[in-house]
Amino acid sequence: FSFLLCANLALEAAAFAPSTTKQSHVLRAAADDQVVDEATRNARIMAPISSIMAAVSPSLGLVSPANAAPSASAFEANLRKNFPGALTNSAISLRVAAALRDRGYTPGNTLFGSSLCSDEINDTAESLVGDFQNKLGTDGVFNLGGLGGLPFVGISGMGAFIHHVPAEGKIFIVFGPHVGISDKGVVGQIERVGQNSISTSCGAGIGAYKAIMGKKGESEAEAYLGTKDFQEEYIIAKLGDRLDALKGQEQSNESITFLTNKMYDLVWEMMRSEINAYTTKDDFWKECTEVTLLGGIVVNRGHGAGVPGGEDFYQPLMLKSLTKDGESDMYGEVFGDFPALAAPHRAAKYV
């Protein structure tokens, strides 16, 4: 047990220590996973030892937020199982806003952008974007996201956004897909205000999943095919072979979790491409001094009749800063005390 404890502590320290290495400001794909950052890869490595520690911790008298007993709530149990380390919107915005203030972000010099799904449940008074606006003191937000959270504004839209930055100012962007978890704990479903039946979330992601799985008898999938709905058709085309592991399986919490992580990959790939189109130009850094990117998965909870409601959650998977001198990883600095973060289940195989 002493060996396991020491090994686990060493791995946690290595995995979540803030990075001090200066890198190129080009956002690059990782060697072993095109879109997974270093913190995520390290979390995957330490997951087996963390699991052992979680099992023996009670006998050792060790208790931590990461291995605390889950709530009896079906929503919370499936949140923790499928999106480990997800925190409430207010907790996420509090932590990140404090780190940004330490880096010189102020209401007067900050341009705030979001690339989240255009679903109205992501644009409420208690939404992640609303929380960030309150804590950062910014007047508005530039909406970069379309269906699924992909930044469908493209190079032109990103350029328009970037050119709104205050003189020698800073840019902060939060991005990612979303998924609902119903009060009964079903991933991909949610109770909506004013509706009597359960709803899908994310409808665009699940609609694409059904189309790819070949369930042509379902009206939700049929509605997207053969239309001029370019955003949904793009998602279907890009997800395609990424969901091969799910073919022949029934829809489940695990399959929709897998889908949602692949949607995150799509959002990050498009975001990285659009950001690189500008940060690789020397004159960009004459207008802007820093760009910070927060990437993760929004987890919506139901707010319909008969359900408790409450804050939505966000599972942070990336927190990076770009300056003219290169790229730095802020993830360990802000989220290092939660070793369950970074979704080790992203490497799971569903066969």
Mean pLDDT of 323-337: 89
50, burial (CB in 10 Å: exposed 0-12, middle 13-18, buried 19+): buried
Please tell me the number of Cα atoms within 13 Å of 334 on its side-chain side: 30
pLDDT in tens, 222-253: 555 555 788 999 999 999 999 999 988 999 99
| pLDDT, position 58 | 41
Helix pair 253-279, 154-162: axis angle to 10 deg: 60
- Give, for 314, the enclosing helix (H) or strand (E): strand 313-323
Q: pTM here?
A: 0.76
Averaged pLDDT for residues 66-95:
80
| Burial of 148: CB neighbours in 10 Å, binned 0-12, 13-18, 19+ | buried
**Residues 308-324: what's their mean pLDDT?**
91
Structural contact between residues 340 and 219, judged by C-beta atoms closer than 8 angstroms: no
Q: Beta strands of 78-196 (E only): which ranges?
A: 87-88, 110-115, 142-143, 169-175, 178-181, 189-190
pLDDT tens readout for residues 196-231: 778 888 889 999 999 999 854 445 545 555 557 889
| 286, pLDDT greater than 70 | yes
Angle at alpha carbon of residue 298, lines to 120 and 271, rounded to 5°:
95
Under a CB-based contact definition with an 8 Å cutoff, are residues 128 and 96 in contact? no
d(CA 239, CA 235): 6
Q: Is the pLDDT of residue 72 over 50?
A: no
**CA separation for the pair 35, 79 (Å, rounded):** 22
* Tokens (6 digits) for 84: 């480990």
